[in-house]
Amino acid sequence: MTSIINYHRLNTRNIGDLICAPSLWMPELADATRDEILGFKGSENASVAAAQEWKERLAQADLIIIGGGGLLEIDFFKPGLQHIAENRKPGSRAVVWGAGHNNWQLGDWRGLKQGLDLDAYGFDLVGVRDTDCGYDWVPCASCMAPDLDAPADPVFDVVMYAHTGTIQNSSRAAALPSGLPMLDNSAPFEQVIPFLASGDLVLTDSFHGMYWATLLGRKVVAFPSSSKFYSMKHPVPLCDPSDWQRFAPLARTYPDALAECRDSNRAFAAKALGLIHG
C-alpha cells in the first residue's frame, strides 16, 4: 500500500494552520497520515519515542506533502524542511501543496521581502498559494470545505478577525480597531466561517481570515505582519490598523475566487498523485 504523509503545523491553536492540510479535504488523500512539520524534534512531540516514530514514518513514505500554511522562507520551519529533504526514502516523491512564503520581521511591514527559493529541498512538484513566484499557483486546500458554500447574508457593516499573536501582545492588540464584533483565530472553523460571513467588510491580520473572507464573497482590508499577505491572486488593500477607514473604499469582492481555488486544487491533485501512480 502506498504510504502518504502530509506535513503541516499541528502544534498550534491557529485554526488556519490546523485545517490547511490537503489530506483533510481531498478524497484522494483520505488514507494519508498527517504529521507535525517539526515532529522530529523532541520538543515538538509528547516523548522521545514519539519523535522516533515520526522519523520512522518519514523513512517509509512514498509521497510526502508539505502544506499548507506559511512554511516557506521562515527560519522557524527550515529545520523541518531540511530534515525531510535529507531523510526521505530514496525514490520517494515530495510535493509542496498550498504552502507559501512567510518572511517577517519586527518593524515596518512595508519593508518585508517576498519570494521563494526552494532548490535546496529537492521537491518533485511545487504548488504554492503565492502568485508570481515561478511555481504553480495552488491556494490553501481549505477552499474545498463545504462550509464556504452559500454563506448567509451579512448582518454587520464591519467585523474584525484577529490573529491570536496580536491578541496576546498588548501593544499590538491596542492598535486594532475597537468597538467592532471580534473573533480570533483560535476559534473553531465552524464558528469562524459564519463570523466572517456576518460582515460586509472584514478587517483582519490573519492570512486565513483574509483568504476565507474573500472566498465567502466579502470585502477585506488586511493588516499585514509578514510577506504572506503580498502575493494573493485575489489581492486586498493592505494598511496599518489605524488607516482602515481610508482603505475600505478600495476593498472589492471576487465572485469567482472560490471556484478558481477549488479548480486549482483538483488539477494539482491529479499532478501530485500522478507522481506515484503514473
pLDDT of the residue at 106: 57
Look up residue 215 and give its amino acid.
L
Same domain, 242 and 270: no
Q: In what order do the strands lie in the sheet with 182-184?
A: 182-184, 156-162, 199-204, 219-222
CA dihedral 47, 38, 145, 135 (to 10 degrees): -160
Same domain, 63 and 194: no
Same domain, 265 and 245: no
pLDDT of the residue at 107: 61
Same domain, 212 and 108: no
190 CB contacts (<8 Å, ≥6 apart)? 147
Same domain, 11 and 123: yes
Same domain, 161 and 50: no
Angstrom distance (rounded) from CA 31 to CA 135: 27
Angstrom distance (rounded) from CA 54 to CA 238: 39
When divided into structural domains, the chain yields a total of 2
Same domain, 97 and 16: yes
pLDDT tens digit sequence for 184-216: 999 999 999 999 999 999 999 999 999 999 999
**Residue ranges, the chain, pLDDT below 70:** 105-111, 113
Same domain, 32 and 106: yes
Same domain, 127 and 158: no
Same domain, 225 and 155: yes
Q: Bin 249: left if φ > 0, else alpha if -120 < ψ < 50, else beta.
A: alpha
Angstrom distance (rounded) from CA 141 to CA 138: 8
Same domain, 118 and 250: no
Same domain, 181 and 241: yes
pLDDT tens digit sequence for 35-58: 999 999 988 988 899 999 999 999
| Structural domain boundaries enclosing 223 | 146-255
